[in-house]
Amino acid sequence: MLSRLKRRVEEGVAPLALALARRGVTPNLLTLVGLGVGLLSASLFALGEPLWGGLLLLVCGFFDLLDGAVARRGGGETAFGGVLDSVVDRYVDFLVLLAIVWGGLAEAFGISGLVWGGAAMLGSFMVSYVRARGEAAGTGRMEVGVAERGERLLLLGLGSLLGFTNYAVVLVAILSHLTVLQRMAVARGRLATRRASPPAP
């Protein structure tokens, strides 16, 4: 849902992206800085500090946007850079949710935080997997769904800033699985006339 907004924001940070690229700042470096910020955010959540954890998670999201802007505006896009960015995103997603559960911040409606956190982790990974598998099978870009990564980061970040970390996790758990279903429906429609490719090992 935020894909169009993300492109507009990228246009807004274009001058900064160009300035960084001209000074030799690489997209991969920004990706790794984002990883560091994400790890710090996770540490704060684990320590029971959702306010600061949420703030840093939003900063982490900014670096995730900025590294792509630098890559595109500075002509530094590489195949490995895309792989690195995806791997870092998955680590941050997992560690932040794990830290929220560890910090006792995910329990809601009388249901254990392990349940909500586990559902949110699984949904988050499946959203990415369905996109990767679908695009590999020939669907084209699948930037669809109510809870892409940008939405999930905003939910967790803003929810934590407002003191509702647990309800943010609940929303991520529910909406991420809804997004999986949306992407499955889109993939089915786009691949209806194509021969199925063999399953990934």
Tell me which residues are annotated as active site.
Answer: 89
Question: What are the backbone dihedrals phi and psi of residue 108, each rounded to the nearest 5 degrees, phi first?
Answer: -155, 145
**Residue written as token pair 């997209």:** 27
Return the bridge partners of 35, or none. none
Containing 82, the helix (H) or strand (E) segment is: helix 79-102
Burial pattern 127-138, b for ≥16 Cβ within 10 A else e, equals bbebbebbeebe
